Amino acid sequence: MIAVIQRVSHASVSVEGQTVGKCGKGLCVLLGVAKDDSHEDSDALVRKILNLRIFSDDGGKMNLSVVDVRGEMLVISNFTLLAAYKKGNRPDYMGAAAPADAKELYEYFAECCKCFVPTECGIFGADMAVDIANDGPVTIVMDSRVLLGKA
C-alpha cells in the first residue's frame, strides 16, 4: 500500500463538478492498494500517518501530528501510485489490487482514520478532480512494505 501524504491548509475532491469530500487544515492522502496488501498494511500506514509529526508547534518546529492539531483528513483512492515504469513509456498497473479488494482496503483505511480525526473521502473508481492547497509544501511518500519490513 502506497500513500502520498500532503500537509494541506484545505483540500477537496469533486466528481462531475460536485464536491464529494473535503478537509480543512490537515492531510490529503492519495492511497494506492497493491495486490498483496492486507489489513496489516493499512493498519501500519494509519498508525504512522496519524502520528507523523509534520505540523509546527509554537516554536515553529515540525513536532505535532494531525491528531495533535485536531486536523482533518481527505483520503482519495489512486491506483496509479502502483505504476511500474522501468520498462517502456506506458505505465503498467498490474501491481494494483483488483478493484473489489482495493475498494475494501481503501474503505477500511478511511474508517480507521475516522476513529481519530474527521475524515472524508473521494469516490472509489470515479474520475475525480482534486483541489489541494499544500501547506509548506510538505509531501511524504510512504510504503507499507517498508514499514512492515517487506521491502
Q: What is the reported pTM?
A: 0.95
CA angle 62/64/65 to nearest 5° reads: 120
* 74 in Cβ contact with 120 (< 8 Å): yes
Q: Which domain holds residue 59?
A: 2-147
Sign (positive/negative) of CA torsion 66, 29, 105, 141? negative
For 110-147, write each residue's pLDDT tens digit: 999 999 999 999 999 999 999 999 999 999 999 999 99
Question: Given this model, what pLDDT does residue 26 score?
Answer: 98
Structural domain tally of the chain? 1
CATH code of the domain in which 140 resides: 3.50.80.10
For 9-21, write each residue's pLDDT tens digit: 999 999 999 999 9
Residue listed under C-alpha cell 481503501: 106
Question: Given this model, what pLDDT does residue 151 score?
Answer: 78
> How many other CB atoms are there within 10 angstroms of residue 141's CB atom?
11
- List the beta strands (DSSP E) in 16-122: 18-23, 26-32, 55-56, 62-64, 72-77, 119-121
* 2 in Cβ contact with 81 (< 8 Å): yes
Question: Given this model, what pLDDT does residue 135 score?
Answer: 96
Sign (positive/negative) of CA torsion 74, 78, 84, 85? negative
